[in-house]
Amino acid sequence: MKKVTSGWKAFRVDSRGRVRFLFHAHDGSSIVPFNTWIRSKARWVTDGQRQKKYRSGFHFLVETERIDKFDRLTKGKYIFLQVQVRNARPKPRTNVGSWIAQEILVPMK
């Protein structure tokens, strides 16, 4: 497995300017905690399209070239921030080359 220590993650910004995770809350809140290592809950999740199971984690992109493809698919709705990751692996069945990390840190700029 390729050792990955950083990448790019998509986030949304709410009407008050707070950075939030896209779909799932972490510890009861979707607001991103900056400068804090957080761990994904270990569980099996299903792929929405084909109902295939894989281990949960924080989705991110390794190559900046993939951001453009993701941006086109999502019509530019999200922002990308550079993140640090631990225990990363390629995401199975991905359209944009996503990876999954068990732990993530979003540095404060």
* Ranges of each domain in the chain: 6-105
93: number of CA atoms within 13 Å, CB side? 11
> According to the model, what pLDDT value does residue 50 have?
64
> According to the model, what pLDDT value does residue 101 have?
93
Contact by Cβ (8 Å): 23, 77: no
Q: Which two tokens stand for residue 99?
A: 């990876």
User: Token match 């990363």: residue?
Assistant: 88
Query: Within the chain, which residues score under 50 in pLDDT?
Result: none
- Pairwise CA distance, residues 92 & 46, whole Å: 11
- Pairwise CA distance, residues 5 & 7, whole Å: 7
